[in-house]
Structure 1
């Protein structure tokens, strides 16, 4: 069994306590929710805006064909269940506050329609993804504004790590920024590639955004949750502070340009996240204590 499959097998134990059940039929979904315009979707996933009929609460509605579900875990009733559902149920079961209080958006409802799954997710309003937020701010953010976002993002990633959840694809497009207050608030979306992983779990098959692949995947052909998530913190920060996208191969070839006006603490934080050697990465806990975020 491959290492990443071992990590997923462990996840059925980690998720033990959750109740896996059929979410209902199509008529139930249509009786509860109205689906509106297309929001976006990666790969086989299509996501639509919508609202809950009873209170017109905004929701995001994700359609996932059953024959294209990449990662499943085994639930208590021995059925194979979408790991995204298992993870979001775990987050909901262990939430410290009401819906909307945590960084990951909440799973509100889900429906198994036989040929597809429908996930009904919290949709913060007003909000834009970080990529669009950066674009709207002129293509890069001032360092102080980037710091506000990174501090929340590191805290959110550490919260997931503490629950043995590895998102695997934290990037600007998967980070929502709530813009309804003076201080932008970070929310994490799209757990479609996520998995359960313990501290020393090793993954060999890469899931994520190809241009953000951590360097160890090229040389060692394996990666771990902690160092990879820290690497992704660096990728997000780089794209927040520079015009243009981050590309691992360009970085490894030393062709990626860095902003020379960054403060020493900020540049140190960025360099620590983007080190080539995973063993030299700080932990997420270390990042929380870094002088740049203090």
Structure 2
């Protein structure tokens, strides 16, 4: 059946939402125009979708509970809560994300005419682009999703063992070694370049939204939380900009405008900075010369980092150029 589209609601990251005059929380800024295609161009693959949004349906919840066992809470943010769990059939570890309906943004429809949220549509599009992607692609895979009256539930792949990059850095007790950071950044640049090629803008790349699989000698990077993402088939992203305020690029701070590519490059720099320094990154502090890049890093590493932090977005390298940077070769 077809859902009537609800009113579009604002989305926030775990830092909250703000206006231009209060940049200590999460950013929300309106674009001057939308692309003709709008958000959600590119129909995702047909998938099973259980719903009880027309009326309470215990059978839908029963099916979810019959298929998955939910365990302890893993985390909580502005958009919802995430719990650990298992698929009963094979004990596959999963992450179960509960999103209150007031935080859901609807954007696209599937082949059955059922409406999709931006997070579901983006993840399905990535899985369509990468066949058999569960466990193999950088973005975490979506296994199932369920719509209930009060919330949406996403069932996601959960790598084990793994920690988010913030915890990985904290567990290290000191900034990462340059070679460790290089291994992670190389994977991150490849991952966000793939998103760009698929016309998906994550919008909130940061250590908390990066998982590091720790079960092998070489840490493997996985991207999580596409709840603030959007589709873009033009140079400027469509609709609204959401992200972590302290990571806002200078063009947003000064002019309330940004481009998807240069903004992502800035966020790559944020991730690298936080891996190599003891202090957390803050764009305003960098602009005020209160943050310094370590002088003991290699010349190529410093050049890579400084290029990500060029004040003018036009002077920043593209993601493709970052892939070919001497530091990563």
User: TM-score, normalization: structure 1?
Assistant: 0.94
Decide whether aligned partners of structure 1 residues 88 and 256 sit closer, same or farther in structure 2, where only a CA change above 3 A counts: same
Matches of 1:95 and 1:79, distance apart in 2 = 23
- SS of 1:256 mapped into structure 2: coil
Q: State whether residues 199 and 225 of structure 1, in contact with CA within 8 Å, keep that contact through their aligned partners in structure 2.
A: no
5 Å-filtered alignment, 1:55-204, equals: 55-69=90-104, 71-76=105-110, 79-202=114-237
Instruction: Give, in angstroms, the shift of residue 203 of structure 1.
Output: 5.5
SS at match of 2:77: coil
Task: Describe the shift of the 1:158–1:144 C-alpha distance in structure 2 as closer, same or farther (beyond 3 A).
Answer: same
Count of aligned positions: 291
Q: Give the secondary-structure state (helix, strand or coil) at the position aligned to 1:206.
A: strand
Q: CA deviation at 1:138?
A: 1.7
- Partner residue, 1:54: 89
In structure 1, the residue matched to 2:241 is: 206
What is the alpha-carbon distance in structure 2 between the residues aligned to residue 52 and residue 7 of structure 1? 40
Residue in 2 that maps onto 1:22: 49
Is the 2:231–2:237 Cα contact (8 Å) retained in structure 1? no
Partner SS state of residue 223, structure 1: coil
Greater helix share, 1 or 2? 1
Larger RCO (CA under 8 A, 6+ residues apart): 2
- Alpha-carbon distance, 1:44 to partner: 3.0
Contact 2:82 2:98 in 1 (8 A): yes
Deviation at 1:206, TM superposition (A): 3.1
Cα deviation for residue 66 of structure 1 reads 1.1
Cα distance, 1:10 vs structure 2: 2.6
Q: TM-score, normalised by structure 2?
A: 0.84
Q: Deviations over 1:249-290 (max 9, x none)?
A: 100101102211010000000000011110111000000000
Say which SS state the counterpart of residue 49 (structure 1) adopts. Answer: strand
Q: Over aligned residues, Cα RMSD in angstroms? A: 1.8
Deviations 1:27-85 (A, max 9, x none): 1100000000000022031000000000000000000111221x321314555421000
How far 1:185 moved relative to its partner?
Answer: 0.3
In structure 1, what is the equivalent of residue 75 of structure 2? 40
Give the counterpart of 2:286 among 239, 246, 251: 251
Distance verdict in 2 for CA 1:204–1:66, change over 3 Å: closer
Counterpart residue number, 2:38: 10
Q: Deviations over 1:188-221 (max 9, x none)?
A: 0000100001241245743011110111111221
Q: CA deviation at 1:115?
A: 1.7
The answer as to whether partners of 1:176 and 1:188 remain within 8 angstroms in 2 is yes
Question: Which consecutive residues of structure 1, in runs of 5 or more, have no partner in the other structure?
Answer: none
Query: Matches of 1:18 and 1:143 in 2, distance apart?
Result: 40
Q: Which residue of 1 aligns with 2:27?
A: none
Please, which moves more after superposition, 108-117 or 73-82? 73-82
| 3-state SS of paired residue (1:198) | coil
